[in-house]
Amino acid sequence: MKSLKTVKVRPLSFSDIHKNKPLEIKKEKLWQVLCGDKGHWRVGLYSPEVDSIEAIDRFEKHSCPEFFVLLSGNMSLVIRNKKKPKIIKLEPLKPVMIDTWHSGFCPNGKHTGIALVVERDEFITKYQSMA
């Protein structure tokens, strides 16, 4: 695996929102941070742009765990433990905590699955190529 880059996320890592109203959700977006609590957590929506494990070009790993739960559609996460990929098919209302190298895909086509993600408001993300 070839290291691509490292990104440091710091508070405030989410936009100011109108509280007590529905949040705006942008369709067909890979990652959208919705809201958070400064210094604690943030919540976002994840919807992969690829439709197979073969189409994934990179893995990412955070310095903290991430909570994923499938909201709609069909989506799988790919994790790499000991350099061998493993597919985790997400199921509605069955959360998964991820703390290793990962990526995702929607087998029914790009952006056909959406997962809710909860993570810390400050962390470091490292990226590696699939090769």
Judge whether 63 and 100 are in contact, CB under 8 Å: no
**pLDDT of 119 over the 90 cut:** yes
**pLDDT of 110 over the 90 cut:** yes
Degrees to nearest 5, angle at CA 58 with 9 and 115: 65
- Select the CATH number that applies to the domain covering 3-15+29-129 from these four: 2.40.50.140, 2.60.120.10, 3.50.50.60, 1.10.3720.10: 2.60.120.10
Judge whether 113 and 122 are in contact, CB under 8 Å: no
- Supply the pTM of this predicted model: 0.89
**pLDDT of 1 over the 60 cut:** no
pLDDT at 131: 66
Question: Collapsing DSSP states into helix, strand and coil, what is residue 115?
Answer: strand
> What Rg do the C-alpha atoms of the chain give, in angstroms?
15
Find the mean pLDDT for residues 84-108.
Answer: 96
Provide the 8-state DSSP code for 28: S
pLDDT at 81: 75
